[in-house]
Structure 1
Amino acid sequence: MREVTATGHSVEAAVESALAQLKTTKNQAEIIVVDKGKKGFLGIGARSATVTVRKLETPLESAERFLQDICNQMGVNASISAKKSGRNIFFELKGDKIALLIGKRGQTLNSLQYLTQLVINKNSDEYLRVTLDAEGYRERRKQSLIQLAERTAHKALKIGKEISLEPMPSNERKIIHNALTGIKGISTCSSGEDAFRHIIISPEKKPIQKA
């Protein structure tokens, strides 16, 4: 139930009745006064006040509806679960044809995550950070990136030359950087702008020994 029409001896009483039925508060509702009512004289001609109250979506509900609409439009029958920890929101998508939501190397999933973050922060009083996952893809991708980082680092050491990786979003570049912090003789840096930003893995130059 998202809308209730209620009556009362005053507008305030009618609003309180509607809010109680919707189990919400004034700042989470849209209130429309249909009839202000009339006290009458000695009760004669009195008329109750009438209001219509609509329960507004929370930022989390707006984001869930957005994701569900996208899934429906893409023909994906997906269930959506959400967890909130402070300002961090974690959405998990599960269902059939989930690969359509992930896309090549997670590109579709990353785009959906970005759009969902825009939706959830549109009417939020505080900035919320969104993480969107689908059937545990994020963890699988993380392990794949760690293996890629280690293989590339060993190759760079072997050939003695720097190697550039393909462009990646910032969260994936961070995984690469962290994975190689413990490998001696290797340094990493990011290069490029926007969608072309990528990581360069380089063997550190050894100092020249003086005779």
Structure 2
Amino acid sequence: MKREAVATGRTVEDAIRAACEQLGAERDRIQVEVLQLPSKRLLGLLGASEAKVRATIELTVEERAKNYLAGILDRMNIQQYVLDGKVDGSDIDLEIRGENLGLVIGHRGETLDALQYLTSLAANRGEESFKRISLDTGDYRKKREKTLFALAKRLAIGAVKTRRTTTLEPMNPYERRIIHTAVQEVNGAASWSVGAEPNRRVVIGVEKQRKHTS
């Protein structure tokens, strides 16, 4: 995806600098087309004209993700936020920082998951190699992971003691993996998934119950 800006200035270089400011980019990242050269006033009769350029920049996947996400947040009337990004190979981690961002998280992180999914689709459109985009705010995902891990271990220990199964609320694939990982740390406990998306759930019990169920 490309962005472009048309700018004017007393000289071509002034116009280029103005275009760079509009795009928020350094000079070496943009391609420039000179639309009009500056002209001087002749004999006091004709007015001088400024230089005009068209500058184009190819956005990175991270920039496209930020632009798309910012557009959604603005339409959600989210105010006074900052978008931070960190790139590590094919992984892009985006963090929304600000106050009162509960609306961004939604019920059990459902809105945050939806924003992450849509942003990933928009940012990767037309790209040959897919970049994994992770979206978080206020360390919600880390806190959620810690809570789910502790819950799963507690239920797994209880399942071994009582031989009873527990069916959890519907979860996305990422959260289900957290549950399965935690249960594996409890000897004798087992976990498996039932149902279809988006209502797929994890059941925690013991190994014999898992085999019987499946």
TM over 0.5: yes
Alignment correspondent of 1:83: 86
Query: Deviations for 1:104-135, whole angstroms, at most 9, x for unmatched residues?
Result: 11111011110111011013231000110001
Q: Which residue of 2 aligns with 1:42?
A: none
Larger Rg: 1
Note the alpha carbon deviations across 1:145-189, whole angstroms, 9 max, x for none: 012102221232233122211111111111111111121111111
Gaps of 5+ in 1: 7-17, 36-49, 207-211
> How many angstroms apart in 2 are the aligned matches of 1:201 and 1:150?
10
CA contact (8 A) 1:101 1:108 kept: yes
Identity of paired residues, percent? 34
Measured against aligned partners, the alpha-carbon deviations of 1:76-111 in whole angstroms (never above 9, x if no partner) come to 221100001010000011102211100111111011
TM-score by length of 2: 0.72
Q: Which runs of 4+ in 1 moved over 3 A?
A: 31-35, 50-53
Higher deviation after alignment, 106-115 or 191-200:
191-200
Aligned to 1:23: 28
Structure 2 segments unaligned to the other structure (5+ residues): 9-18, 21-25, 37-51, 210-214
In the alignment, what sits opposite 2:96? 93
TM-score normalised to structure 1 length: 0.73
> Residue type of the partner of 2:60?
T
Counterpart residue number, 1:103: 106
Equivalent-residue separation in structure 1 for 2:63 and 2:126 (angstroms): 11
CA distance in 1, matches of 2:70, 2:172: 24
Distance 1:59 1:204 in 2: 44
Secondary structure of 2:82's match?
strand
Q: Give the alignment's Cα RMSD to 1 decimal.
A: 2.8
